[in-house]
A and B are shown apart, each in its own frame.
Chain A
Amino acid sequence: MKLDLSTKNKNGQSVCSIRVTSENGALCIINPLFLHEHGDKWLTQQSQTQVEMKRRSVPWSYDLNTDISRQTEDFVNNCHEIIEEQQENTGRMGQSKESDRNTQGPTEETPEPNKETLEVGSTKDPPEEQGSKEVPNISKMRKQRISRGHMRLGSKRLQEHKQLEEESKNETKTLRQNQDEKRTSLFQHRVSWIESVQPSENNLEKSSSETSLISSDSFLLPPLPELDSVSISSMEEDVDCHALNSKRKHSHGLGDIVRHSILAVSTVLTGLMSPEKYLANRIQQLAEDPTTYFGSTVQTFICNTHKGGLHNQSSTEMLQNIRQLLTNLRNHLLEKNEIWEIMEHQEIEESKTASIIETSLYKCILKPVRNAIHTQLLDIHTKDGSLPKLLMNQEKLLTGDLIEQKPRAGLPGPSTMEKIKEKLLLMHMSYSPKKMTTHLLKVCKLLYESMESSSDKKEAFGADDFLPVLIHVLMGCDLTSVQLDVEYMMELADPSQLQGEGGYYLTTMFGALYHISSFNTISRQLSLEAQNSIRQWQRRRTIHHRHPMQKEIQRANKEVPETRTLTVFRSESAEDFSNV
């Protein structure tokens, strides 16, 4: 694990460099004068070996087969689409900030791929070119970083982009012709994908200094914000990129450097000291250790998933199996003596432990398979016709009767719409249902704010006003990803998280999507399938089914049609854990 912050002036000279390695716990701050005298090659050469070692420690990422390749290809394509869409947003922002660019130039030339995405808007390239470049660009940049050590991005950068785009296009062509070549050429993407999913997830939301931290190593961030219960009212005002850019306008290059450095150091220190993080790290280690029951279960699941283990299941079945696995493993960890010792030693509150474990499990289990799940959901719902129907109705509503449906409360303006789309994109990029729910609530908050600002109503808004606005707004969004994300959250979130506000707004989102997809049907009743899916979800959500332990499950099997789901994991019940 390493973190580096390097800043250069226009001549490419290093002004400041901070490097932290959490593997051996060393924190090292290098005097800029030293770097000026001796350069920093020695630093990056070391980092090369570290990166290679880190890769070796993730064996499953080499476990390639055609399914993975296909998923990767899909993912790359998806990314292109998403980023192209995103491009429009950043492009607009960037134009208004062009004047800052000259003064900010030096600080912006850091070698972080993630930062790169943030900066896209401020360069003067035609948007189409930039957008499609992002993904191969990131992978290439990683590679360059390894081979050359320090990246020097200057005017060369744009050239490389073009070259890279062509390369990636060629790659895609070859893929379709030759199966063997497909594997090898996509292998590069595969590696970059694993490493860069996390950064791109955050790059729109955080300030630039945080972004570079996260992209270097998300491991070092304190987990505390995630522990908060999900609620609109408890959410902090996050710094979005608009605010970020306006702030940067007034800061000078050197001031930025200092600020970045302080932020970096403080974040790292908090990360190293936080007891919650300690526990989370330990769970992460356990998950990577195939000699433990926990580790082997996790690794087997991930392996199976990448080998196509999710096929031939219904969407609900697939997601419920995964949820069951999460619940089983959480209970297993809660029974483990080691976890209790850590809790006592680190003085972690009992009430927090389950939440920390849950979050860690998301990282161990859901993060590696998020895209596989998404691909599978997309496949299932394209085949069963529900997605095409939804999109068809979206189109109909957009062209036809929308005026009639116009809500009485104010609709968000273009800038709020962009923010909403950004949040939805962030939601789509997340793997943790908890984080996704937070993004969902942020969308709702934005909606309420715009409703408030555009109406004279003094009182708070209820569902009568909110639902029509939500439906109207969703109509202008990428419904495919929203639909899949809602299903993902509904099934995979910890049932106890869905009791409150998060559950309500997720339900409302589900309702809004259902309304759009059933727009043309005259029936006043929900379809049987929809009723069934709600029943199953709500059942697991309610008090009596909150902690489906083995005994209850067997009892519940008589009334709930979840039998098939549970038989798969019956051998991994809590009782069996104690025998291991």
Chain B
Amino acid sequence: MAAAGGAAAGVSKTYSFKVVLLGEGCVGKTSLVLRYCENKFNDKHITTLQASFLTKKLNIGGKRVNLAIWDTAGQERFHALGPIYYRDSNGAILVYDITDEDSFQKVKNWVKELRKMLGNEICLCIVGNKVDLEKERHVSIQEAEAYAESVGAKHYHTSAKQNKGIEELFLDLCKRMIETAQVDERAKGNGPSQSGAARRGVQIVDDDPQAQSAGGCCSG
């Protein structure tokens, strides 16, 4: 990839992504994200941190990624608060319980709303959780995967209980978000986030305008 060449040329770059977790209560959103963040690389004591807001640092192919994962309350009465949380998210993880058809219907509603409000800039992941309860499955794999494809989302099968498919889910999501961000940067020319006066400020994203032209050279 062209931009990867630019990044390798000594440009340190950290992406900060916000990912929102949506889905009905009890589908295992919290367990899913806890599983992901509760590993030896994240030695922050979970009990103090709790699981409503979690962060994770990743390094994907030399690109540093800071993930901020925003959990939402899944109860129906809080549905109206959705936009408060998902605004300006780079990614959304929509979780349903494979044994609960209603929860899949909820995911469909969220997808509609997200596409309407945020367009195609947000990376959507539809996640069928609790695959350890395969015998009680009520949502067919074919139906779910076909639906995901039809709305431009990716589908994943996970089990928070058995720690299955979670790492892949987040890794894949991060890669897609990086791609989207790069496309976005290119579309915006030399990147609007930097200018001279801001260089001394505290900043996470360290854009280099030259990265763009360097990328152009490589691809050409």
Chain A residues close to B by CB (< 8 Å): 232-233, 330-331, 334-335, 350-351, 353-355, 445, 448, 452, 459-464, 466-468, 496, 499-501, 504-505, 507-508, 510-511, 514-515, 518, 523-526, 530-531, 534-535, 538-539, 541-544, 546-547, 549, 551-552, 555, 574
Indicate if the CB atoms of A496 and B84 lie closer than 8 Å.
no
Which of B68-76, B139-147, B148-156 sits within the interface? Answer: B68-76
Indicate if the CB atoms of B203 and A541 lie closer than 8 Å.
no
Please report whether the interface of chain A is mostly helix, strand, loop or mixed according to DSSP: helix
Indicate if the CB atoms of A543 and B75 lie closer than 8 Å.
no
Chain A residues in 8 Å Cβ range of B201: 330-331, 334, 354, 496, 547
Interface bits B19-30 vs A (CB < 8 Å: 1, else 0): 001000110011
Indicate if the CB atoms of B75 and A464 lie closer than 8 Å.
yes
List 9 other contacts, CB 8 Å, given A463-B52, A504-B53, A526-B84: A232-B48, A334-B201, A448-B50, A461-B52, A464-B74, A534-B87, A539-B88, A547-B193, A549-B195
Chain B residues in 8 Å Cβ range of A467: 73, 78, 81
Indicate if the CB atoms of B78 and A515 lie closer than 8 Å.
yes
Chain B residues in 8 Å Cβ range of A574: 197
Chain B residues in 8 Å Cβ range of A468: 73, 75
Given contacts A546-B193, A547-B203, A574-B197, contact A538 B52 (CB under 8 A): no
Cα–Cα distance between A468 and B16 once the two chains are bound (Å): 29
Chain B residues in 8 Å Cβ range of A543: 16, 193, 204-205
B183 within 8 A of A: no
Which residues in window 16-43 of B have CB below 8 A to A?
Answer: 16, 21, 25-26, 29-31, 33-34
B44 within 8 A of A: yes
Chain A residues in 8 Å Cβ range of B84: 507, 510-511, 514, 526, 530, 534
Chain B residues in 8 Å Cβ range of A546: 193, 198, 203, 205
Chain A residues in 8 Å Cβ range of B74: 463-464
Cα–Cα distance between A525 and B29 once the two chains are bound (Å): 22
Chain A residues in 8 Å Cβ range of B51: 459-462
B216 within 8 A of A: no
Cα–Cα distance between A508 and B198 once the two chains are bound (Å): 30
Chain B residues in 8 Å Cβ range of A350: 200
Q: What are 15 A-B pairs at a CB distance below 8 A?
A: A330-B201, A331-B198, A351-B202, A460-B51, A464-B74, A468-B73, A496-B203, A505-B53, A514-B80, A515-B77, A531-B83, A544-B188, A546-B198, A549-B198, A574-B197
Indicate if the CB atoms of A232 and B49 lie closer than 8 Å.
yes
Cα–Cα distance between A335 and B48 once the two chains are bound (Å): 40
Chain B residues close to A by CB (< 8 Å): 16, 21, 25-26, 29-31, 33-34, 44-53, 55, 68, 70-75, 77-85, 87-88, 188, 192-195, 197-198, 200-205
Indicate if the CB atoms of A466 and B193 lie closer than 8 Å.
no
Chain B proximity of A329: nearest CB distance (Å):
12
Chain A proximity of B134: nearest CB distance (Å):
23
Chain A residues in 8 Å Cβ range of B48: 232-233, 445, 448
Cα–Cα distance between A353 and B26 once the two chains are bound (Å): 45
Chain B residues in 8 Å Cβ range of A518: 80
Cα–Cα distance between A170 and B77 once the two chains are bound (Å): 51
Cα–Cα distance between A530 and B82 once the two chains are bound (Å): 12
Q: Which 3 A-B pairs have the closest CB atoms?
A: A462-B30, A547-B198, A504-B53
Indicate if the CB atoms of A555 and B192 lie closer than 8 Å.
yes
Chain A residues in 8 Å Cβ range of B70: 504, 507
Indicate if the CB atoms of B50 and A534 lie closer than 8 Å.
no
Chain B residues in 8 Å Cβ range of A334: 197, 200-201
Among B33, B72, B192, B202, find the residue whose CB has the most chain A CB atoms closer than 10 A.
Answer: B202
Indicate if the CB atoms of B81 and A501 lie closer than 8 Å.
no
Cα–Cα distance between A452 and B85 once the two chains are bound (Å): 24
Given contacts A460-B34, A524-B80, A526-B80, contact A542 B73 (CB under 8 A): no
Cα–Cα distance between A507 and B53 once the two chains are bound (Å): 11
Cα–Cα distance between A468 and B34 once the two chains are bound (Å): 20
Given contacts A464-B74, A538-B87, contact A508 B16 (CB under 8 A): no
Given contacts A452-B47, A459-B51, A504-B70, contact A534 B83 (CB under 8 A): yes
Chain A residues in 8 Å Cβ range of B73: 463-464, 466-468
Chain A residues in 8 Å Cβ range of B47: 452, 460
Chain B proximity of A333: nearest CB distance (Å):
10
Chain A proximity of B165: nearest CB distance (Å):
19
Cα–Cα distance between A549 and B202 once the two chains are bound (Å): 14
Chain B residues in 8 Å Cβ range of A452: 47
Instruction: Determine the residue in chain A with the shortest Cβ distance to B69.
Output: A504
Indicate if the CB atoms of B202 and A515 lie closer than 8 Å.
no
Among B79, B84, B195, B205, find the residue whose CB has the most chain A CB atoms closer than 10 A.
Answer: B84
Chain A proximity of B189: nearest CB distance (Å):
10
Instruction: Determine the residue in chain B with the shortest Cβ distance to A332.
Output: B197
Chain B residues in 8 Å Cβ range of A511: 78, 81, 84-85
Chain B proximity of A252: nearest CB distance (Å):
36
Cα–Cα distance between A350 and B202 once the two chains are bound (Å): 8
Indicate if the CB atoms of B16 and A499 lie closer than 8 Å.
yes
Chain A residues in 8 Å Cβ range of B31: 459
Instruction: Name the one of B16, B71, B81, B195 contacting A462, with C-beta atoms under 8 angstroms.
Output: B71
Cα–Cα distance between A524 and B110 once the two chains are bound (Å): 12
Chain B residues in 8 Å Cβ range of A460: 30, 34, 46-47, 49-51
Chain B proximity of A543: nearest CB distance (Å):
6
Chain A residues in 8 Å Cβ range of B30: 459-464
Chain A residues in 8 Å Cβ range of B195: 547, 549, 551-552
Cα–Cα distance between A232 and B53 once the two chains are bound (Å): 10
Chain B proximity of A343: nearest CB distance (Å):
10
Chain A proximity of B180: nearest CB distance (Å):
13
Chain A residues in 8 Å Cβ range of B79: 524
Chain A residues in 8 Å Cβ range of B83: 526, 531, 534
Indicate if the CB atoms of B78 and A462 lie closer than 8 Å.
no
Given contacts A354-B200, A549-B198, contact A466 B52 (CB under 8 A): yes
Chain A proximity of B174: nearest CB distance (Å):
16
Chain B residues in 8 Å Cβ range of A463: 21, 30, 52, 71-74
Cα–Cα distance between A501 and B68 once the two chains are bound (Å): 9
Instruction: Determine the residue in chain B with the shortest Cβ distance to A464.
Output: B25
Cα–Cα distance between A523 and B77 once the two chains are bound (Å): 10
Among B16, B29, B53, find the residue whose CB has the most chain A CB atoms closer than 10 A.
Answer: B53
Among B197, B203, B205, find the residue whose CB has the most chain A CB atoms closer than 10 A.
Answer: B197
Instruction: Determine the residue in chain A with the shortest Cβ distance to B160.
Output: A459
Chain A proximity of B36: nearest CB distance (Å):
13
Indicate if the CB atoms of B193 and A544 lie closer than 8 Å.
yes
Indicate if the CB atoms of A500 and B68 lie closer than 8 Å.
yes
